[in-house]
Amino acid sequence: MELEDIRPDGAKGTDLADVEPDGAEAKGTDLADVEPDEGAGAAPAKRASVLGAARSVRVIIAGFCLVRLVVVPVAVFALETWAFSALPLPRDKLGRAVILISSGMPSAQILVILLHKFGLSQQAAELSFLFVFQYSASILTMTVVISAVLARVY
């Protein structure tokens, strides 16, 4: 049996976007069925759907940002402290600063590009949605990380 023949409601076809998780058909998800809105009403509806989407995955967004922007730098700071006290490593200030600052940088966009390149555009769009919040939060966390590195190394 081919993958395109499997649908939760048992019907044949490849369009899973019209099927809700419980098997009920979604209404109005086909772009051909949606009529364009005229006037000022279109923008607030779009904004409301984006905010609703962000609220529905806020735990994932918070975890994604917290791990990359807080947990990883704290772990690298702790590892760097242990390594320089336990191992005979060179005391190069610039090298230490680069390692510590790069640990607090937000994730790179190359994964989004690769996902899109390999035909996984939906996953690329979902990941780029998370990156918006991570880059916004990094304004604060990078300020803290750079300040801590400068105080510690120099």
Give tens-digit pLDDT for 18-70.
444 444 444 444 444 444 445 555 555 566 676 777 788 888 888 889 999 99
Give pTM, 2 decimals.
0.61
Sequence-ordered list of residues with C-beta below 8 angstroms from that of 101, at least 6 positions apart, any chain: 145, 146, 149
**Do residues 108 and 93 make contact, with C-beta atoms less than 8 angstroms apart?**
no
* Tens digit of each residue's pLDDT (9 = 90 or more) over 106-117: 988 888 999 989
